[in-house]
Amino acid sequence: MKFLKWMGARAGEASTWRGLGLFLAAMGILPADAVEPLIAAGVAIAGAVDIVRRED
């Protein structure tokens, strides 16, 4: 359960999505111009999850 809380905390940070986007772009999996939309989508999804998630 600690791991899920840790992952949830990281998912809400733009730097996590920026790092993922840059990693995927460096590996040739994601075009370089798709990094910014990935960051925006990731942070939006994390925000939506936070809206419906119950706090412990």
CA angle 15, 19, 24 (to 5 degrees): 150
Query: What's the rounded mean pLDDT across residues 14-27?
Result: 87
| Residue range 18-34: mean pLDDT, rounded | 89
Q: Is the pLDDT of residue 55 over 80?
A: no
Q: Which two tokens stand for residue 2?
A: 């600690």
- Residues 37-53: tens digit of each pLDDT: 988 988 898 888 888 87
Residue 29 — very low, low, confident or very high, per pLDDT cuts 50/70/90? Answer: very high
The count of domains in the chain is 1
Q: What is the pTM of this model?
A: 0.64
| Residue span of the structural domain in which 31 resides | 2-52
Alpha helix positions (H), 1-56 = 2-11, 14-26, 35-52
pLDDT value of position 56: 65
